[in-house]
Amino acid sequence: MQKRFIEYDLPLAEISEASAREKNIRHGHPSTLHIWWARRPLA
């Protein structure tokens, strides 16, 4: 089974690092206190 182009070009390390950083931010603004399934505007 050959790999697809996205498997070579997708920066998984950077995505994982950014998501871990975002997941650990739970202080400050009320919108960061709860992890939502999707990013949607509150209003």
What the block records as the tokens of 30 is 């009320």
pLDDT tens sequence across 1-42: 787 877 778 888 888 888 888 776 666 666 666 666 666 666
- pLDDT of res. 5: 78
Report helix, strand or coil for 13.
helix
